[in-house]
Amino acid sequence: MRRVADAREVAEALHRVKVEPLEYVTNLYATPSILEAWIGTGDLDRHEAAGCLLLFRRDVGFRHLYFAARTREALAGCLKDPLADWRAETVTADLIGRQLDVAATVAAFAGAGFALYTTLVRMARIGFPPAPNEPTDPGVTFAMPDEERIVHGFLDDLLDRYSEQTPSLREIRRAIADRQVLVARRKGNLAGALCYATTGVATTLRYWFVASEHQDQGVGAALMRRFLWLSRESRRIVLWVMAGNHDAITKYEHYGFRRDGLVDEIMLRRGDAS
């Protein structure tokens, strides 16, 4: 692997890789600004072989793998290279698409020693009418700047690091400053949190969690009602949820969310050194 020094390197590598219009495969959806943020923090490395580019973003104790390959065969060959130094580390890869469309790529990863860790499904709420009245639960407010560590710790305790990508403290700080983090308090304690991001007419619900000791007390519902009120101008709201979390899926369906056919098959390979 080599550290990526600038976005131009990635662009030139993609230029070398993408020459076959009907066979190109990728899971690299990061915008140039996001790529530049990763490069800026020194968290991005690359590995390139014939017709295949692999990018590795460092996380705590593992790396996220992004790929762009001329063909699926080029991808499979690159992943199987026994001498590649990245194989010593634990690596995850998100394979996003319609389930039938990603099956062959899942097989390519499985052939290189990756196993399916979990599957996420995307749900969307489209064009729903706004809530009739503004919710008034006084325990639900926007998170304050001095709560960034509490919110970060709350999420860090609850989220699965391989599939749910715990936000960094910096990301939480920015989201709080953008008034996109709701917290629910009960008797002064943090009982639940909901984080989202709005771009124009679309909103992504990133996290919606209630502490175990406060479940079945209406905390989650209060957060969701407030969130839907605040997002009433959004034409489309999307979220990702674990396919096996039937309880959460039922709750989301209650609020008008429906699966939209997209899945994220999260593949994991434990490092040879672990």
Size of site (CB under 8 A) for another protein: 32
Contact 65, 55 (CB under 8 A): yes
CA 263/CA 211 separation, integer angstroms = 27
DSSP count for the chain of H helices, then E strands: 8, 13
Interface with another protein, residue 93, by CB under 8 A: no
Show the beta-strand stretches assigned E in the chain: 2-3, 25-26, 44-49, 52-58, 63-69, 91-98, 115-126, 140-142, 181-186, 189-199, 202-210, 236-242, 258-269
Min dist CB 28 to another protein, Å, is 8
Cβ distance to another protein smaller for residue 26 or 90: 26
Interface with another protein, residue 248, by CB under 8 A: no
CA 211/CA 192 separation, integer angstroms = 6
Looking at 133, 136, 199, 250, which residue binds another protein (CB under 8 A)?
A: 199
Interface with another protein, residue 100, by CB under 8 A: no
Q: Please, is 157 exposed, middle or buried when counting C-beta atoms within 10 Å of its C-beta (0-12, 13-18, 19+)? A: exposed
Cβ distance to another protein smaller for residue 120 or 222: 120
Interface with another protein, residue 19, by CB under 8 A: yes
Looking at 1, 14, 110, 159, which residue binds another protein (CB under 8 A)?
A: 14
Min dist CB 149 to another protein, Å, is 29
Looking at 2, 22, 60, 83, which residue binds another protein (CB under 8 A)?
A: 22
Window 124-163: contact mask with another protein (x via CB under 8 A): --xx------------------------------------
Nearest to 224 by CA among 245, 207, 244: 207
CA 97/CA 160 separation, integer angstroms = 21
Chain positions contacting another protein, by CB under 8 A? 11-15, 17-22, 24, 26, 28-32, 68, 96, 126-127, 198-203, 234-236, 262
